[in-house]
Amino acid sequence: MAEKYCWTTLFLYMALSFAVISCEYAKEQLDSVRYDLSEESDDFIRVKRQNVESPTDSPATSTVVSIVKEDTTNYYDIKYIGAEDGGAGLWMDLTAGSSGVVKHRSLQSAYRLAVKIDIGFSFLFYGHSVKEVTIATGGFLYMSEFLHSFLTASQYIAPLMANFDTSLGGNDSEILFRTDDTAFVAQWSNIFLKDKPELGNFTFQVQLHRTDGKIVAVYKQIPVPISEVTSKDHPVKIGLSDAYYWDVGQYRTIYPYHTYRASEDQVKPGAAIVYTHRKTCNMLKDCDVCLNDPPANFQCYWCSRLNRCSDAFDRQRQDWLTSGCVFNVTQTDCSMMFTIAPSSTPVVVRAQETKSTGSSAWKGITAALCTIFVLTSAGILGAILYGYSNPTSPIGQFLVRNRPSELWRKFKAWKDKDEESSTHRNPI
């Protein structure tokens, strides 16, 4: 009796542990996405989205800026710091197992996989607030809530986007991340190129600073010049990019409105690239400031219908145009501004909101199912333990009547009876 009790307890404990581990794995898989390469133009990419209605209008072209040593754009000031100038001193070392450092299991031994992460604070990216980033095995962060297959096209921070495969380095290849009081840091350690592993391992990181939106890319191990890294099977990019969406029926077109390509020659061991965020129109929340103290190199407008300051080229461009802000803006005097009541047109449902809602719904369903499974398993385990401890109770008597040996005896009797009946029906 005691032996059966021990074996039954062990079996149920293992089943319960398996259920908990399966729930954790399912939760991680919900936050991951496999990405592919864009076959569209560099100026835009079109993806299919859920069925939501949206007006149409004409898009804008993208802007690509190349730099040599230092540069200033409308959105960021960029500075290279070589190893001889102290670039290595900006490195924030992440070690697996250290306090606060996370090693996401889905990113280990993976290829073209990306996982969404909550960074724990609002980060300023092209003037927009970003609370979640998607870490990709390909050496970049995707900076939009709207997930699709072509993450390499735009809306990224790329310390070194390339054809990396974390399975090639075994346990030594890691993708780690951490959020502290200073910054969110993502680190790619000892990773190899899938098409040219013989070139050696790469180690680098990117830092997103809390207070000012500063981005710092630091390079620790770069075994070869970046010019030797092929882009045949995966884009090779260093820099930043952002885009706006244009929704038409079931399709969403992504138009990059700004792309910054950094100089590959400056990416060396011990070097760093610092991107300092500049003031943009969409950061200004007051009409007087928007019109009287605009950022340099921007022509800012204030739309009274949206109560928003913009140069008309940011992530909310479609809202800006479809809300009539082209005809309802001022750039001279806020006192002369008139207010137009909101249109009776139904609210446009954004695909990223639909995506987020769907993801949250699936997370809720998965959590509920896991909770039900765990509670049911725990209830069954408790009932069995109670029955074995109290054999005269109804549960105990049920277990006695349905113990394994008794169930086997009943099964054999049923099988023999069925075979005998079959013989009578089909005599030889």
Residue 208 lies in a domain: yes
Query: Given this model, what pLDDT does residue 341 score?
Result: 38
Q: Is residue 63 in a domain?
A: yes
Q: 42 and 145 in one domain?
A: yes
Does the residue 69 lie in any domain?
yes
Give, in order, the Cα–Cα distances in Å from 270 to each of 84, 91, 92, 205, 237.
8, 9, 12, 11, 19
**Is residue 344 assigned to a domain?**
no
Q: SS3 for 76?
A: strand
Residue 130: how many CA atoms within 13 Å on its side-chain side?
A: 29
Q: How large is the C-alpha radius of gyration of the chain? A: 29
- Domain match, 248 and 361 both: no
Instruction: Please check whether residues 315 and 373 belong to one and the same domain.
Output: no
Asked whether residue 87 falls in the same domain as residue 215, the answer is yes
| Domains in the chain, number | 4
Residues 227 and 207 grouped into a single domain: yes
Q: In this predicted model, what pLDDT tens digit does every residue of 246-269 receive, in sequence order?
A: 999 888 999 999 999 999 999 999
pTM over 0.85: no
The pLDDT assigned to 369 comes to: 77
Please report, for residues 382, 395, 403, the alpha-carbon distance to residue 379 in angstroms, rounded to integers and kept in the order given.
Answer: 5, 13, 19
Last residue of a domain, one of 278, 301, 323: 278
Domain identity same for 117 and 252? yes
Residues 366 and 413 in one domain: no
Selection from 160, 217, 153 nearest residue 192 by Cα:
160
Q: Name, in order, each residue with C-beta under 8 angstroms of 329's C-beta and a sequence gap of 6 or more.
A: 301, 302, 303, 304
* β-strand partners of 161: 237
Q: Are residues 226 and 151 in the same domain?
A: yes
The enclosing H or E element of 357 equals helix 351-389
- The DSSP bridge pattern shows strands 140-142 and 164-165 to be unpaired
Residue 383: inside a domain, yes or no? yes
Q: Are residues 187 and 111 in the same domain?
A: yes
Instruction: Kindly state whether residues 237 and 137 are assigned to the same domain.
Output: yes
Position 342 in a domain: no
Among candidate residues 307, 242, 310, 309, the one with its CA nearest the CA of residue 277:
242
374/414 same-domain check: no
Q: Is residue 345 part of a domain?
A: no
Ranges of the chain with pLDDT below 50 = 1-7, 20, 24-30, 39-41, 50-68, 338-359, 428
Residue-wise pLDDT for 169-208, tens only, equals 988 999 999 999 999 999 999 999 999 999 999 999 999 9
Residue written as token pair 């549960």: 395
CA separation for the pair 154, 314 (Å, rounded) = 13
Residue with tokens 């390909």: 138
| Of residues 280, 47, 22, the one with CA closest to residue 148 | 47
Location of structure tokens 């697996």: 96
Q: Are residues 176 and 268 in the same domain?
A: yes
Show the domain range for 428.
396-428
Domain membership of residue 168 (yes or no) is yes
pLDDT in tens, 200-247: 999 999 999 999 999 999 999 999 999 999 999 999 999 999 999 999
pLDDT at position 45:
57
Amino acid 29: pLDDT: 47
